[in-house]
């Protein structure tokens, strides 16, 4: 099985991504690392533990990461994800297992170096701001040589942003971290952005098809307010599966159509901080630094998401 570390800022869709990863039984989850983003680092860590309790997998170690972006003030999205980040769906106080000792960036380096290479190389799936991975790269610049692939949810190339007119949230929250990752030289860096995640829309009809009643009830409750806000903004009553789609790419890469492209990120603009700028026509003449998401078989993904998460 593909060995992965999930790097999360556990809000509503990160939690659904964790559920998909664990219930697929197709990924060897080495650890889950947490970062400030949708909610504070502490809340993201608590939420991650609660979701693992829900899944009966408190054995998966959780490591805390960065409490703040590299240089900017923290910017949470509790207005979207609720004060607790998961829509109040798991109201009890604390998870059954405390986080493991150690810092997320060091854990990424340690696991990457300890694996033997070849099929045992580590894959990182990042569904929050890229702060933890940037810290790892600052500590150990040779890290890309030891990583099979980085799949990150973030950015938008052909459309509008979801936190500013041009910026997607994860990129806006820590664009300096994203720029370090973009230019680190990973052998395979796969961007899963709003261009495709806005097509993966979970509706009430999908939720009703989730066979496991405990998971179905959790998904229905956690996405309730998010769905209302999405409808108010986009006139579609659904929950966009941004982060689960990044996990889905790790599971089923054939569902995503990608294009090699040079992409940079704006970090010093009055209006455009966090904008991912794709050199679509190769006007800069730089070699591609990532695979950019261009299309997705969203119907196949939604069918698989419902089936996998609903497994008893």
Which residues are identified as catalytic? 242
Lookup: tokens for 254: 């054939």
Which residues have CB under 8 Å from 110's CB, separation 6+? none
Nearest CA among 218, 221, 133, 232 for reference residue 184:
133
Whole-angstrom distance, CA of residue 312 vs CA of residue 301: 19
Residue 73 CB neighbour total at 10 angstroms: 6
Are the C-beta atoms of residues 164 and 172 closer than 8 Å to each other? yes
Lookup: tokens for 141: 């610049």
Are the C-beta atoms of residues 175 and 266 closer than 8 Å to each other? yes
Q: Helix, strand, or coil here: 235?
A: coil
Are the C-beta atoms of residues 129 and 36 closer than 8 Å to each other? yes
């Amino acid at each position: 099985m593909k060995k992965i570390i999930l790097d999360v800022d556990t809000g509503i869709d990160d939690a659904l991504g964790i559920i998909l990863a664990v219930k697929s039984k197709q990924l060897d989850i080495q650890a889950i690392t947490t970062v400030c983003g949708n909610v504070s680092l502490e809340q993201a860590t608590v939420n991650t533990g609660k979701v693992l309790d829900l899944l009966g997998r408190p054995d998966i170690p959780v490591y805390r990461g960065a409490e703040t972006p590299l240089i900017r003030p923290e910017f949470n999205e509790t207005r979207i994800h609720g004060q607790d980040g998961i829509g109040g769906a798991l109201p009890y106080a604390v998870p059954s297992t405390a986080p493991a000792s150690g810092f997320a960036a060091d854990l990424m380096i340690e696991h990457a170096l300890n694996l033997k290479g070849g099929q045992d190389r580590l894959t990182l799936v990042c569904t929050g701001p890229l702060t933890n991975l940037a810290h790892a790269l600052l500590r150990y610049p040779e890290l890309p040589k030891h990583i099979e692939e980085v799949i990150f949810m973030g950015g938008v190339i052909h459309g509008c942003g979801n936190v500013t007119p041009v910026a997607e949230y994860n990129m806006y929250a820590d664009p300096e971290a994203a720029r370090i990752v973009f230019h680190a030289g990973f052998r395979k860096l796969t961007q899963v952005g709003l261009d495709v995640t806005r097509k993966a829309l979970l509706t009430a009809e999908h939720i009703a098809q989730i066979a496991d009643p405990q998971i179905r009830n959790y998904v229905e409750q956690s996405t309730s307010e998010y769905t209302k806000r999405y409808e108010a903004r986009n006139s579609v009553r659904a929950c966009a599966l941004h982060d689960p789609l990044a996990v889905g790419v790790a599971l089923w890469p054939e569902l995503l159509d990608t294009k090699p492209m040079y992409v940079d990120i704006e970090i010093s603009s009055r209006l455009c901080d966090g904008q991912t700028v794709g050199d679509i026509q190769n006007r800069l003449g730089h070699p591609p630094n990532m695979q950019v998401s261009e299309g997705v078989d969203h119907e196949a993904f939604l069918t698989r998401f419902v089936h996998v998460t609903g497994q008893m």
